[in-house]
Amino acid sequence: MTITANNPNNKTWLEVPQNSDFPIQNIPFGVFQTQDGVIRIGTRIGNTAIDLGALQQLNYFEDIDLAADTFLGDSLNEFIAHPKAVWTAVRNRIAFIFDALNETLKNNTSHREEVLFDVAKTTSLLPVQIGDYTDFFSSKEHATNTGTMFRDPENALLPNWLHIPVGYHGRSSSIVVSGTEIYRPKGQTIAADAKQPTFGASRLVDFELEMAFITTNANELGETVSVADAENHIFGMVLFNDWSARDIQKWEYVPLGPFLGKNFASTISPWIVMLDALEPYRVTSPKQEPKPLEYLQQTGEKAFDIKLSVGITPENGKETILSNSNFKYMYWTMAQQLAHHTINGCNARAGDMMGSGTISGPTPDSYGSMLELAWRGTKPVNLNDGSQRKFINDNDTVTMYAYCEKNGVRIGFGSCEGKLLPTK
Ligand code: MN
C-alpha cells in the first residue's frame, strides 16, 4: 500500500504551531483520557487530540478493513493486530480527513465536537497493553564504554557482542507513560571494599536514553521472522527511559543479568510514531565487521536518523540538556533485533515492546546515561544552576526528546518525562 500521508506538501485545516512535533505528516497513535473520564484511542495533529473511535463510528474509515470495535477499547493492541496495510490505510485516511483541501469534517460542527479535543485538556495513558518487554544492548559505543569502565579497556566488547544483538527479558508491569513519578528504589548493594552487602535506598539511580519499537503478532511459536520481513511486523516507535539503579545492578547481575536494578520503572513517550512516518528518514546503519551470520544479514537502509536529547531539571530549576545522541548510531538495527529474537521460534505478539539499549554516540557529549556522561562518577556533570550531578538526585526530572527533520518536515516524538521522588 502506498503511503500518501508523508507528502511534505500536505497541509491541514487544523492549527499546527511552528516546530510542532506533530504536523499532518506525523499522525502518531496513542490513548488519552478526556475531562469527562472517557478513555479514547486517538492521534494528534498539532495540539489537537483526535478520537479515532468517534471517527470510525461516524463512518470516516469506510472501506478500510477494520474490526468494528478496533478503537473502542483502552489500548492500541487490537489495531496493531491488524495487518500493516490496514495501519497504512488508516494513517493515509486520517491525513485525508484533515487535509486543508477536504472540508467534510471541517464543516461539520457536531462531528468536530465529538472528535476533536484540546491536548492540554487530556491526560495521556499507556498507548499499548505491553505483553512482553525485551531490552537490547545494541549501541557499540555504550557497550564499549561500559566494558571499558567495568572490565578491560583492551577487550571492552565481550566476544559475543559483534555477533549477537545481546538482550534480556525485562518486565512490562512497571513500564509507565511519560509524566508518571518514579520512586527511588531500595535494594541490596555492596560497598567497594566490603565483604557483606547492605540494604537501603539506591544511591546511583541513572537514566538510559533509549527508543523502543512495538511489534504486531509477528510469528507463531516455532516460526521465525526474517530480517528482510521484520519491519513489516513493527508498528512504530516511542522514546524509552530505562531507569537503572547502578549499585543494585552491579551486585545482582552475575550470572543471570539485570533484575531489580532495572525493573522498578521504565518510562515511554505517549505517542507511537509509525514506521511509515519515519520512512523519509532512513539512513545506512554502521558497517558491521565481522559480517554477521546469514540470518542477521540485511540490505538497504535499515537505520533511522532520529535526533535524541536528554536533560535534567532540578526541582524549581531550569533544564540542562546533558546529551545529544542519534538513533542512527545503533550497531544492530530493529530488523536484526526482531529477526534474532524470533530465530529460535520465540513468538512476538501485538503490543510487545523491544528497547534498543542505551543509545550513546561517539563523543562524550552524546552518551546516553549518567554512568557514561559522568564516567562512573569521576567527571561530575555541571548543571546550569551551578550544581553538579554524578547520578540523578531526588526530585530531579529527566526528560528525553526525539525528532527527525528533512525537507522542512519535522516528525517528533514529544517528550518522555519522569520525576525521581525520594524512596517511598
Ligand atoms: Mn536498558
Mean pLDDT of 332-352: 98
Residue 362 scores a pLDDT above 90: yes
Domain ranges of the chain: 4-125, 133-421
The CA 67 to ligand 1 mean position distance, Å, reads: 35
The CA 283 to ligand 1 mean position distance, Å, reads: 23
The CA 30 to ligand 1 mean position distance, Å, reads: 23
Mean pLDDT of 235-243: 98
CATH number of 133-421: 3.90.850.10
Asked if 398 contacts 420 with a C-beta cutoff of 8 angstroms, the reply is yes
Q: What percent of the chain has pLDDT over 70?
A: 100
Longest Cα separation, the chain: 73
Return the H-helix or E-strand segment holding 79.
helix 77-80
The set of cell numbers assigned to 391 is 547520578
Return the H-helix or E-strand segment holding 340.
helix 334-342
Asked if 352 contacts 129 with a C-beta cutoff of 8 angstroms, the reply is no
Asked if 302 contacts 334 with a C-beta cutoff of 8 angstroms, the reply is yes
Q: Which residue numbers are catalytic?
A: 142
Residue 76 scores a pLDDT above 90: yes
CA–CA distances in Å: residue 402 to residues 4, 214, 237 = 23, 17, 11
Mean pLDDT of 378-385: 97
The CA 368 to ligand 1 mean position distance, Å, reads: 10
Quote the CA–CA distance of 311 and 176 in Å, as a whole number. 19
Task: Report the candidate in 190, 240, 205 with the shortest Cα–Cα distance to residue 390.
Answer: 205
Length of the chain, please? 424
Quote the CA–CA distance of 258 and 169 in Å, as a whole number. 9
At the top level of CATH, the class of 4-125 is: mainly beta
pLDDT score, position 198: 98
Residue 1 scores a pLDDT above 90: no
Neighbouring-strand partners of residue 304? 282
Mean pLDDT of 176-197: 97
- DSSP classification of residue 365: G
3-state secondary structure 206-270: ECEEEEEEEECCCCCCCCCCCCCCHHHHEEEEEEEECCEEHHHHHHHCCCCCCCCCCCCCEEECC
The strand pair at 133-136 and 353-355 is best described as parallel
Q: pLDDT tens digit string along 123-175?
A: 999 999 999 999 999 999 999 999 999 888 999 999 999 999 999 999 999 99
pLDDT score, position 150: 87
Mean pLDDT of 298-303: 97
The CA 355 to ligand 1 mean position distance, Å, reads: 7
Task: Report the candidate in 301, 274, 286 with the shortest Cα–Cα distance to residue 332.
Answer: 286
Mean pLDDT of 62-83: 97
Average pLDDT, the chain: 97
The strand pair at 234-241 and 133-136 is best described as unpaired
The set of cell numbers assigned to 285 is 546503519
Mean pLDDT of 247-263: 96
Residue 37 scores a pLDDT above 90: yes
The CA 224 to ligand 1 mean position distance, Å, reads: 25
The CA 357 to ligand 1 mean position distance, Å, reads: 5
Asked if 184 contacts 423 with a C-beta cutoff of 8 angstroms, the reply is yes
Quote the CA–CA distance of 372 and 374 in Å, as a whole number. 5
